[in-house]
Amino acid sequence: MAEIAQLTLPQGPIPDMPIRELFDLVGRGTVDPDTEGLREVGMAILDKLATGQLIGWGRTHDGRIAPLAEIRRDYWRSAAWSYYFLADDTDKLHQDPHVWPLINTLDQGERYFDVCVNRIQALRIWPGAKK
């Protein structure tokens, strides 16, 4: 019941799951940055973001800390993960972009870091994943 209540808030779902945690959840804790499985997990997540089944938020990467903002659904169609968020170095988590467009689009190369999703949406999409 709490899940339904959160998903139907007037402002909609909230960003409460960091992208690193989502990769761990979808990969069931087995995602190694040097494996092909990482790309499969990344593509599965991009598919859900691009189709609007999952909402993503991030901070623009313009040299200052901007507040979290919802990333438009069409942005994800030409996006690629940097995978910097999987680094153990905490500076990489907050200074390097987590996602950027593959080609210059209307976003003019907009890059995001501190990417988050909604935990309840993620668990509904990947119900067999650990909580």
Q: Please write the tens of the pLDDT for every residue from 63-90.
A: 677 899 999 999 999 899 988 888 776 5
pTM: 0.80
Looking at the DSSP bridge assignments, the partners of residue 80 are 100
The per-residue pLDDT for 97 is 77
Q: For 55-67, what is each residue's pLDDT tens digit? A: 999 998 666 778 9
The domains of the chain are located at 15-125
* Residue 131 pLDDT greater than 80, yes or no: no
Look up residue 73 and give its two tokens. Answer: 């659904």
DSSP per residue, 76-100: GGGEEE--GGG-S-HHHHHHS-SEE
